[in-house]
Amino acid sequence: MIKILIVDDEKAICDLIDMNLTAAGYSCKIVQNGLAALDMIEKEDFDLILLDIMLPGADGYDIMEYIRPLKIPVIFITAKHEVKDRVKGLKLGAEDYLVKPFDVIELIARVEVVLRRFHKTQKVLQAGDVLVDTEARKVMKGSKIIALTNKEYGLLLLFIRNKNVALFKETLYEKVWGDEYITDSRTLELHVQRLRKKMSWEKNLVAVYKVGYRLEI
């Protein structure tokens, strides 16, 4: 399982990230102090580090200097939004730089992009009794293989990677169709209906009023 270290001194932010990345199938550990982060990195191997800049003990830039020779990918997550801060973080070797406040689905997408870049993607995703082998592109529900169209498969991956998170219709459409969402189009709704039926998710894949859909697992 992919292991991610979350380094941030704001407990609410840590809990939010942990909850959503765990739901997406990642194993997470949290530290809220820069020196504690260095100790954790010495003791354990991580596939990715999500790193705040303003930390007690040692700041994110100091930690980045320590991490760089270890070749562990880092995404800075910080309230420091000026261009000079972004440039400094990226020049120190960070793979990405995300400014608070951020959308959870954007964070998960950026995590996936960086992990793919380092060939550390999750090969098998799970949601209840559903398993998805992303390498073989095979979907199993229990012992049964489920045949999905390309668009249904794309929606399935988004829902599983964002379990229990309400996803906007615009986001779903843009991610799967690669185009701007048209308000009066029923294309997305019909695909969700078919996916719901094929996966027997009548009670799990729920509509969220004025937002979109959420997979409740």
Q: Are residues 128 and 100 in the same domain?
A: no
The mean per-residue pLDDT over the stretch 186-196 comes to: 95
The residue segments making up the domain with residue 133 are 124-215
Q: What is the largest CA-CA distance in the chain?
A: 54
Q: Are residues 167 and 199 in the same domain?
A: yes
In terms of DSSP H, where are the helices of the chain?
Answer: 11-23, 34-43, 60-67, 83-91, 104-117, 150-161, 169-177, 187-199
Q: Tell me what the pLDDT averaged over the chain comes to.
A: 90
pLDDT of 84 over the 90 cut: no
The count of domains in the chain is 2
The mean per-residue pLDDT over the stretch 33-47 comes to: 92
Structure tokens at 17: 């990230």
pLDDT of 7 over the 90 cut: yes
The mean per-residue pLDDT over the stretch 73-87 comes to: 87
Q: Is 170 exposed, middle or buried (0-12, 13-18, 19+ CB in 10 A)?
A: middle
Cα dihedral sign for 100, 106, 112, 113?
negative
Q: Are residues 128 and 108 in the same domain?
A: no
CATH assignment at residue 162: 1.10.10.10
pLDDT of 207 over the 90 cut: yes
Question: Side by side, which strands form the sheet with 48-51?
Answer: 27-31, 3-7, 48-51, 74-78, 96-99
Q: Which of 85, 117, 149 is the last residue in one of the domains?
A: 117
The mean per-residue pLDDT over the stretch 185-189 comes to: 90
Answer yes or no: pTM beyond 0.85. no
Q: Which of 97, 117, 137 is the last residue in one of the domains?
A: 117
Tell me which of 165 and 188 has the higher pLDDT. Answer: 188
